Amino acid sequence: MSDVPLPPRLGVAHRRRLRALWRSAGWPCHDLLEAELLVAGLLTRETDPQGRDTLRLTEAGLRLMTHDAQGHRSARSAHEGLVARVALEMHRAGRIVWQGLSLRAPVAAEVPELPLPAVPSVCDAETVPGPAQAAVRWVQAMPDVYSIRHTTREDWVEPVAHEIKVSRADLLSDLKKPAKGAAYAAVASQCWYVLAAGIGRAEEIPEAYGVMQAHPLAGQPGTFGALEVLRPAPRRPFVLPLALWMALARADARRFEDEAQTALSEESPARPPDAEGA
């Protein structure tokens, strides 16, 4: 067997340690992560005249750290671009749009496989007495895009939540969190996944969600064009409870450059938002 050590497999923890050492004075921890980074040639030890060791990133360590940072920025840019694209499409469909909302939502203490809320609405959950109330827990629903119809009829508001995904790893991680889907269903009549083309298939997404696929524009990284509906979202009757209205009132709705006074809808909605805008 060779005496030459095998290069370590670098993971998220190794990259996190590189960033921490870059921002710090470089004092060593003498743990396995540090040893593996030293063996990989990403760190080097320096000893001062008093015999104290410090750690410094090598050129290879700096290249790895900056490469990771560029990748994160690229992913954020693509995500922000697709969020903006979906928000614009909902605006064009005559809807009022919010981005980055944080909404308090009730879900079952034991979340079922199907991501549907345990209670009909936030208001109903507030008044559930005794043992039934103990079965409900509160979580934060943070849809990338949230929109409602511009109407004077509260039973026609049709709140819709869109979750945006531009990487397969992020999508697979999200699908392991049934409480997240239950929280979205507790605040919206429709829930959608919007996937950058190539990161997933409609059959991988639970049937409680609609699925759209976003096609990137050629030669324009982070910019998306057509939104293709792969599967429409199930529509459920939903009346916005007072607590949710108050949360929307405190938040700033997204404004658009072409925004003008939109006529209030007085007609019953004949088509779902996917047919209107995507």
What dihedral angle (degrees, nearest 10) is formed by the CA atoms of 29, 30, 32, 33? 40
Answer whether 26's CB lies under 8 Å from 45's CB.
no
Residue given tokens 């982070």 in the structure block: 222
For 231-261, letters b (16+ CB in 10 Å) and e give: bbbeeeebebbebbeebbeeeebbeeeeeee
Rounded Cα gap, residues 198 and 214, in angstroms: 9
Banded pLDDT at 190 (limits 50, 70, 90)? very high
The predicted pLDDT at position 233 comes to: 95
DSSP SS3 for 7:
coil
pLDDT in tens, 148-168: 999 888 889 999 999 999 999
pLDDT in tens, 240-269: 989 899 999 999 898 887 654 445 554 555
Mean pLDDT in residue range 97-101: 92
